[in-house]
Amino acid sequence: MTSSDLRPDVRDKYAAAAAAALEGGCCAPSDPGVIGATLYADVGPDVVPDTALLSSLGCGNPTAVAALAPGETVLDLGSGGGLDVILSARRVGPAGRAYGVDALPEMLELARQNAAEAGVTNVEFLEGMLEEVPLPDASVDVVISNCVINLSEDKPAVFAEMARVLRTGGRIGVSDVVAEDRLTAADRAERGSYADCVAGALSESEYRELLRAAGFRDVTVEFTHAVAEGMHGAIVRAAR
C-alpha cells in the first residue's frame, strides 16, 4: 500500500497542508479550539519548533496521556509534521526511540525538517500506511496516534497492526474523533467530511469492540471535547 491508496480528499488536504508549512505558510485548522496547537497549551517554542506546533492538525495531545517513560520505544501512527514524535523523543530520552509513520512524502519532509530543527536524534520517520506499518513484530512499547485512525477505511487492519508491532504488555494512547453510539454512519457523514475527521469516525462501542477483537484489553474511551453534535475528541487507552 502507498499514498495513492489514500482517499483522494484525504491525500489532497494533508499534502496541501504540509506543502504550505514547508513554504512558510500556515496550515493550521479552521477551528483551533477543537483541533490544533491550542490543545498543547504547555508546549512552547523552547520545546518544539514553531512550524511543528502550528502545523498540528490533531484533536488531542496523546503524549500527555501515554505516560511515556525513559528508554521506551514509541510509534506515532500518522505522524504528520512530527510534533508528537518530537515530544515523545524528549520524553523517552536518549535511551529510547520514537518512530513516526506517515503515507505522505510531503508530511515526512516536514517532519524531518522539524525534528532536525528541534535537535532530536532518537527519531526516525518512515513512509507507510497505518494498515501496513514498516516495523517488525513486537518492536515497540507504546503506540500513539492523533486524529488519524478515523481517516483509515480499514480500521480493523489498523488495530491488528498496532497489536502486531507492540510487545506483550505494551499499550496505546490515542487521540481520535469518536461518535456517540446513537449516531449512525449516515448521521456522522451529515456532520462533516471524511477528510475533516468526522464522517469516518468510529462510535464508542465500535472502538471498544474492534480493539478487543484485535487482542487488546483494559480498553477505555474518554470523551474530552465536542467536535460536532454527538461527536467528540476522545482519549483511547488499551493494553496488549
The SS3 call for residue 23 is: coil
- Give the residue numbers spanning the domain of 71: 3-239
User: How many domains does the chain contain in total?
Assistant: 1
192 pLDDT more than 60: yes
Say which CATH number the domain at 103 has: 3.40.50.150
Residue whose C-alpha cell is 515526512: 108
7 pLDDT more than 50: yes
Rounded CA-CA distance 155/70 in Å is 30
> Which band of pLDDT confidence, cut at 50, 70 and 90, is reported for residue 4?
low
Contact 108, 81 (CB under 8 A): no
Helices (H), 2-68: 8-22, 50-54
- Supply the DSSP symbol for 68: -
129 pLDDT more than 90: yes
Rounded CA-CA distance 116/155 in Å is 32
Q: Using DSSP bridges, classify how beta strands 123-127 and 73-77 pair: parallel, antiparallel or unpaired.
A: unpaired
